[in-house]
Copies of this chain bind each other. A is one copy, B any other.
Amino acid sequence: MESVWRRPAWAQGDVLAYGGDYCPEQWPEAVWAEDFRLMEEAGVNLVTVGVFAWARLQPAPGRWDFGWLDRVLDGLAEHRIAVCLATATASPPPWLTAAHPEIQLVRADGVRLSHGSRQGWCPSSAAYKDAALELAEQVAGRYAGHPALALWHISNELGCHNPVCYCDESAARFRVWLEDRYETVENLNLAWGTDFWSQRLSAWEEVLPPRTTSYFGNPAHLNDYVRFSSDELRGQLQAEAALLRQLAPDVPVTTNFMLPGRWRSLDYGAWAADVDVVANDHYTLSDDPRPHVAVALAADASRGVGGGRPWLLMEHAASAVSWQKANRAKTPGEMRRNSLAHIAHGAEGALFFQWRAAVAGAERYHSAMLPHAGADSDQFRAVAALGADLAKLAPIAGSTVAAPIGLVVDRDSWAASLRPTLPSAFLDYGAALREWYEALWDAHLTCDVIPSTADFNSYKVLVTPHWQLLDAAEAQRLRDFVEQGGHLVATYFTGVADRCDQVVTGGYPGALRDLLGVRVEEFRPLLEGQEVKLSDGTAGRLWTEPVKLAGATAAAFYVSGPSAGFPAVTRAERGAGVAWYVSTQLNPAGLGEFADRVADEAAVPRIDAPADVEITVRRGAEALYTFVINHSAEAVALKFDGVDLLTGDTGPVMAVPAGDVRVVEQALR
């Protein structure tokens, strides 16, 4: 197996990446020596350099200053620390936006953003793109052969703050994008349904970005603008990648995704094809009562968008962040469990934002591997201990995770769910995704979180929350999946409209009506806080439907609420498989029971483990690696056959203290 990065010459055998963002430009050179020394002490072997260094690398048009970066890279190489080198295009310097104000993003209300934060560029700006590619070319040309170079880091969190721009330059490019897609204005009128509200267009020139309007906009217009904007950002990714591949053909490229949250607008399923390594940034939320579930979900999505490829955790936090309301510090052990959980779910290493805590700027209170307190700190000691752990886990490098269940994310549907004019504004795609994921996680079921474009063949079960926009061909793919033995779990508000957001008539859920064997004549959403009881003792909220059976059988009925007496959950056998329909947002108990039942019917192998003990298996060429992460407050004892790479313990009974982790290696016979 191969590493996800170009292994530097000094690397012997397998190795997991360990390190973080490193911003030497923020520090006097005198500090660098201490950085290198402490990195070595902590087991750091990969650092990301230069992400926000444009203003330092190019102090003025045509002027370049690479000397300091030469010294940084030389120093790192000397200390056997590889570099994930940024193209440095993420944030243009003040002189550039001063010369080209049109680079700055324009909001829907016409306000052009001011310089003074980061990444405020319009994704369609030609002036930005020209300058960025000139910079990338300089960087790539200079460092393509540098011995420290292991991986290219394109831009940074593309679209994080500039997912959509409403300027005239964007408008012009949007028209071109639409013409490519629809060819004629008449096709566009049909696709957007412009005969509604007198919106019929007579010429391409009349197309505008969905700027601030008097009332609700056209949903198809809004859908296409999200798609266009994602494609514009992807265009930047592709342009930089092409340039890097030309100048340094043997160095892999990556960019850091923001899974799962930004999947709501960015088409990561497609973008994954543009990078050699999928990388992800993930931060837990202070008010998440179970942040470890969010970690697992993000990791399974990172693996899922790349089709199961090994991937890299490019950023996570050593402790607190500084952009939430109350920025909770991680508890002792939490950082280690987070890092190892990402690896358990397929990451080829764990990197942090960032190496050394900044003292200035908007992120000065963001935690780091090396905190403000310095090396004499519990934080740094924990970082060094984790580095030692990762060194012990080197054998797992290149191993992969196989999942019997696919949890399907449809970017278009997620984006569409965020807008008004739906039956309920309480529809929450992200929350539904998390709730389904959490039910699977609690049932110790391993799943891939995959784009709706993924190949479904390898899965026994597919769960598709809120796949609102679904074409006939996709309905056919799902039918094929089921008829060939798959188990499909479709939820309310799945399959109701096509990709143009035009409702499929004849009864909901439109294109899936026959497959699911149900017919629904109207949605009956619940008010905020309202709950309905089901006949199996569970409950639902947010949504109900008076489901009528048309081939399916009822698995549970509503016994209260506006759809009382109607089936709530149905089951239809189709070919060799089963198609389920869940017409309400089940409560956790309901989701849990349902997950168990589906897994049993689909003969998905179950891992028997106590609650809150996460068990994940990576398969290597010659061994299985079972991660046991005890998130509970109780020590557990599990039977295992093998040896714990972290402690050297062998079985047959493995004690895992509360908060601790084991990684059991078991040779494949």
Name which residue of chain B comes closest to A213, CB basis: B117
Contact yes or no, B213 A115, CB < 8 A: yes
Known: A215-B118, A326-B425. A56 touches B92 (CB 8 A): no
| Band of interface residues on A | 35 or more
Determine the chain B residues whose CB is within 8 A of the CB of A319 once the complex forms.
522
- Residue-wise, chain A 169-202 has the 8 Å CB interface mask toward B (1 for contact) of 0000000000000000000000011111111111
Contacting chain B: which of A71-79, A368-376, A439-447, A582-590? A368-376
Name which residue of chain B comes closest to A196, CB basis: B361
Contact yes or no, A323 B503, CB < 8 A: no
Q: Is A365 at the interface (CB under 8 A from chain B)?
A: yes
Bound form: Cα–Cα A53–B320 in Å: 54
Bound form: Cα–Cα A92–B199 in Å: 8
Contact yes or no, B365 A200, CB < 8 A: no
Determine the chain B residues whose CB is within 8 A of the CB of A218 once the complex forms.
116-117, 361-362
Contact yes or no, A221 B116, CB < 8 A: yes
Q: Is A394 at the interface (CB under 8 A from chain B)?
A: no
Q: Which residues, 460 to 482 on A, are CB-close (under 8 Å) to B?
A: none
Determine the chain B residues whose CB is within 8 A of the CB of A200 once the complex forms.
55-56, 59, 93-94
Q: Is A95 at the interface (CB under 8 A from chain B)?
A: yes
Bound form: Cα–Cα A433–B203 in Å: 49
Q: Is A242 at the interface (CB under 8 A from chain B)?
A: no
Q: Is A131 at the interface (CB under 8 A from chain B)?
A: no
Q: Is A114 at the interface (CB under 8 A from chain B)?
A: yes
Determine the chain B residues whose CB is within 8 A of the CB of A206 once the complex forms.
94-95, 98, 115
* Min distance, Cβ A100 to any Cβ of chain B, angstroms: 13
Contacting chain B: which of A226-234, A416-424, A625-633, A640-648? A416-424
Bound form: Cα–Cα A210–B116 in Å: 7
* Min distance, Cβ A66 to any Cβ of chain B, angstroms: 15
Contact yes or no, A521 B198, CB < 8 A: no
Bound form: Cα–Cα A93–B206 in Å: 10
Contact yes or no, B116 A199, CB < 8 A: yes
Name which residue of chain B comes closest to A365, CB basis: B423
Contact yes or no, A91 B53, CB < 8 A: no
Contacting chain B: which of A11-19, A403-411, A505-513? A505-513
Determine the chain B residues whose CB is within 8 A of the CB of A379 once the complex forms.
521-522
Contacting chain B: which of A340-348, A525-533, A606-614, A653-661? A525-533
Contact yes or no, A331 B562, CB < 8 A: yes
- Residue-wise, chain A 203-226 has the 8 Å CB interface mask toward B (1 for contact) of 101101111111111111100000
- Residue-wise, chain A 326-359 has the 8 Å CB interface mask toward B (1 for contact) of 1111010000000000000000000000000111
Contact yes or no, B93 A202, CB < 8 A: yes
Q: Is A33 at the interface (CB under 8 A from chain B)?
A: no
Q: Which residues, 283 to 335 on A, are CB-close (under 8 Å) to B?
A: 286-287, 319-320, 322-329, 331
Q: Is A524 at the interface (CB under 8 A from chain B)?
A: yes
Bound form: Cα–Cα A364–B195 in Å: 12
* Min distance, Cβ A84 to any Cβ of chain B, angstroms: 18
- Residue-wise, chain A 33-72 has the 8 Å CB interface mask toward B (1 for contact) of 0000000000000000000111110011000000000000
Q: Which residues of A pack against B, CB within 8 Å?
A: 23, 25-26, 52-56, 59-60, 88, 90-95, 98, 105, 109-120, 160-162, 192-203, 205-206, 208-221, 286-287, 319-320, 322-329, 331, 357-365, 367, 371-374, 377-379, 420-426, 497, 500-508, 519-528, 542, 562
